[in-house]
Every structure is written in C-alpha cells, then in structure tokens.
Amino acid sequence: MIGVIADIHGNLQALEAVMDDLAKKKVDDTICLGDIVGYGANPNECCEIIKKRHINCVMGNHDFAASTGMVWAWFGPDARKAIEWTNKNLTMENKVFLSVLPKRLTLDFSGVKVGMVHGSPVGELFEYVEPTTTDSTLKKFMEQMNCQILAFAHTHLPFAKTVENGLVLNPGAVGQPRDNNPMASYVLLEPDKMKVTLCRKEYDVETAAMEMKMAHMPDFLWERLYEGL
C-alpha cells in the first residue's frame, strides 16, 4: 500500500498529522506530487521531512517559483507575496533541493507503473487536470507517462477515476484543501488492486493559521484554512 500526498504548501501541522496517520496504516512507501512549499509558514521543516523520509517527489509550481525566484508573475497577488516570503526564508540547501526535483517520474510498484506529475504530462508545473477532463485526454496522458496509474495534483481537489484498464487520481491537498473540507487530504493506493482510498485527517489548523499570521501572510491565505477554500 502506497501513501500519496501533495500540495503540502509549508503546512507543517498538516504534514505531521498525515505522516503519523500513514505510519499507523503501515504503508510500504509514500510518494509526493509536489508543492512542498508555498503559503504556509514552515517551508524548511516540510522539506526536511520529505528529505529525511526519502520520499520520491516531483516538482510543483510553487516549489519552482520559491526556489528559483522565477515565474512569479504567473501567480495572483496573495500567492506571490507568500512565494516571496518563502524564497527569503528557505535555506540555500532547501532551495537547491526543490530546484532539482524532477518534473515527472514513473515508478514501478511490483510490476505496476505509477506516473507522477504535479500538473499534467504536457504542462508539468502549471496545467490543471480537472475531474471533468475527458477520458480520451486522460488515456493520452497515461500513454505519455507509460503508466497504468497516473497521479497528479495542483487543483487541490481529490478524486479518482478508472480509465479503460488504468486509473487516474488526485490525492487533494495536505496543507491547503479547497473542496470545502478543512481536513488534510491524501490517498492510500494499492497498485496491484488498482484501488484508491481517499482519506481525510484532522490537524491543528489553529497553530498553522497563527504561524502564517505571525509571518505576515495575507489574511485570506490563513483564514481559508478553517473552511477548506
């Protein structure tokens, strides 16, 4: 069983809660679909957890922007302020770590290939794959990634869907849920059974929001944690 996480966004409290939950469920491995940083007040601590646990991870758009200082114009004003703060507060070691993350990975789990990308195979960092994306497009994405299971993130909206003999999934966001549920979101994946279990975990939202407020993040960024917006 594989734990699939994404969109941590510097939310240490949410990440720790999810990692504790994954340990209790005794997963064999964990993979991350990017955006370790951005928005939250603990980017370095979140990077250290991913590194310490040797979690296979692909690059997200916030990871790229915060570590390189590039493409900031792509983001809205609030997100841009958070990225600027993250860029200033990341250690050089973690900037390097984030900047060299692969933009896509295909891993083999007992003969089942799982493709990993933050956005999509044709727009690894910035393209949104929605629940409404057509089956024909999703099939092409799996062919491009040479995988039976395709895992992506970026929308912060959890879902799973069978496409012919394959499977596509989005685990939702650990640290910035946007489906009107404030609990951290992740997925348990059983590749051999083509089975996905969507999971939610409560965490200390109050501390996460307070730390963002103390870091002078725009109010909207920490206020929405309470509502999952």
In a domain, 23, yes or no: yes
How far is the C-alpha of 72 from the C-alpha of 65, rounded, in Å? 6
Rounded Cα distance between 117 and 39, Å, is: 20
The H or E element spanning position 160 is strand 159-163
Three-state secondary structure of 92-137: HHHHHHHHCCCCEEEEEECCEEEEEECCECCECCCCCCCCCCCHHH
pLDDT digits (tens, 9 = 90+) for 166-182: 999 999 999 999 999 99
User: Containing domain of residue 43, as a range?
Assistant: 2-219
What residues contact 165, with CB distance under 8 A and at least 6 apart?
A: 148
**pLDDT (tens digit per residue) in 175-210:** 999 999 999 999 999 999 999 999 999 999 999 999
Residue-level pLDDT at 134: 93
Query: What's the CATH number where 66 sits?
Result: 3.60.21.10
Q: What is the DSSP code string of 30-60?
A: EEE-S--SSSSS-HHHHHHHHHHTT-EE---
Residue 224 falls inside a structural domain: no
Report the number of distinct structural domains present in the chain: 1
Is 227 within the bounds of a domain?
no
* Per-residue pLDDT reduced to its tens digit, 44-60: 999 999 999 999 999 99
Among 203, 142, 192, 143, residue whose Cα is nearest residue 169: 142
pLDDT confidence bin for 16, thresholds 50/70/90: very high
69 lies in some domain: yes
Average pLDDT, the chain: 96
- With b for 16 or more beta-carbon neighbours within 10 A and e for fewer, the 180-204 pattern comes to eebbbbbbbbebeeeebeebbbebe
pLDDT at position 72: 86
Looking at residue 74, what DSSP letter applies?
G
| Distance from the Cα of residue 37 to its chain's centroid | 9
Asked, for residue 225, whether it belongs to a domain, the answer is no
Model pLDDT, residue 71: 87
